[in-house]
Amino acid sequence: MKEASTISAAPRAKIKAPLVSNLIVTYNSADEIRACLDSIRAQSADFEMETILVDNASRDGTVDIVRAEYPEVKFIDSGYNAGFAAANNLAFQQAGGRFMLLINPDSVMRPEAIAASINYMASHPRCGIVGGLLVDGEGHSHPSARKFPTALTKLITLSGLAERFSSSRFFGAGDFRWFDHKSPLAVDWVPGAFTCVRRSMIEEIGFFDERFFLYYEETDLCLRAKRHGWGTFFIPDSVIEHEGGASSKKIEGQTFDPAGSQVRRFRMMAECLYHRKNFGLASLLANVGVEILWHQLRRLVNLRPGELAKNKRRYSAEIVKGLQKAMLDTAYGRTSPATPW
């Protein structure tokens, strides 16, 4: 049986109604959490805000660092690895802000990032979700806005056409590669590394669906927001340095997608759940089927002799097997496996 959550907070100035609640979920985040919390502290004078951190059973000293060095942070011990969605829901239960900032522990906010998000939402009443510009430590931008996933966009990505013709509004549509990211833009969904969410919207549509242990929970939230008439926007003035996958990379015994930031098995199961929930069995079969068909073709193309071709065949076979297992493990998207995945 899962242990009950415990909440502790060091003495701090009482704020009856903070404007901003920063929600952070950690899992073995000792290497990253100081930089994240320091960037929040640097902007804490701009607004009345609180920071709520949920730890998913870290074993690397994350808890000791937070309790000893950041007494202003309200700490919640989930008692087990609850995943991203359920842990954020725990934090939301304790949050009092009109706006919630979902911040990954490997995210570092540059100056004015919080102010830019709050000010944009304050001036756009039907804006329910805002995402900022994600950059690496050298300032190179990462995909910061997305279209809802479809079988077509997956095929374009798998084929390499999205990368080759990134300036095309058609081929680069999946993650807005054609867009210069220098002005606000209405988008379908934004990554959860740094996301500003309006409380009144959450009270209307609900927060994260806990069937998603990891991945696709923010896509699902943005889709529900859109269906209820709320907008999701990318804004360039909130700049966040983000490593990507810092916590998931510490999950032992897992295989990662080529980019190295997503646990392959988790991604596949979450994808099945998302498509079945929101668009039905046909959507699940189309999206998973495109990937299976692509890799079956790749296996045929690489039947030639040689070690390189052999490795490519092996990789494609692993993908096909993984997708088939994900469909079975989720009963073709109808049920979520027991937590933690």
Do both 196 and 240 map to the same domain? yes
- What pLDDT, on the 0 to 100 scale, is given for residue 247? 54
Same domain, 268 and 323: yes
Instruction: Clarify whether residues 78 and 193 are in a common domain.
Output: yes
Looking at the fold, whether 17 and 73 belong to one and the same domain comes out as: yes
Q: Which domain holds residue 286?
A: 264-329
Q: How far is CA 258 from the centre of its chain?
A: 17
Are residues 306 and 235 both part of a single domain? no
Structural domain count, the chain? 2
Q: Could you please report the per-residue DSSP string of 224-282?
A: HHHHTT-EEEEEEEEEEEE-SSTTGGGSTT--B-TTSSSBHHHHHHHHHHHHHHHH-HH
CA proximity to 43, closest of 20, 23, 25: 20
Q: Does residue 173 fall inside a structural domain?
A: no
87: enclosing H helix or E strand: helix 83-94
**How many contiguous H segments (helices) and E segments (strands) does the chain have?**
11, 10
State residue 106's pLDDT score: 95
Same domain, 124 and 77: yes
> What's the pLDDT at 251?
60
Looking at the structure, do residues 193 and 299 belong to the same domain, yes or no? no
Regarding whether 286 and 192 lie in a shared domain, the answer is no
In a shared domain, residues 303 and 193: no
The CATH number assigned to the domain holding 209 equals 3.90.550.10
Confidence (pTM) = 0.89
Mean pLDDT by 10 residues, the chain (341 residues): 40 62 96 96 91 96 96 95 96 96 96 95 97 90 92 95 94 93 96 95 97 97 98 97 66 64 93 98 98 96 93 95 98 95 91
What pLDDT is stored for residue 245 in this prediction? 56
240 and 94 in a common domain: yes
Q: 199 and 317: one domain?
A: no
In this prediction, residue 47 carries a pLDDT of 86
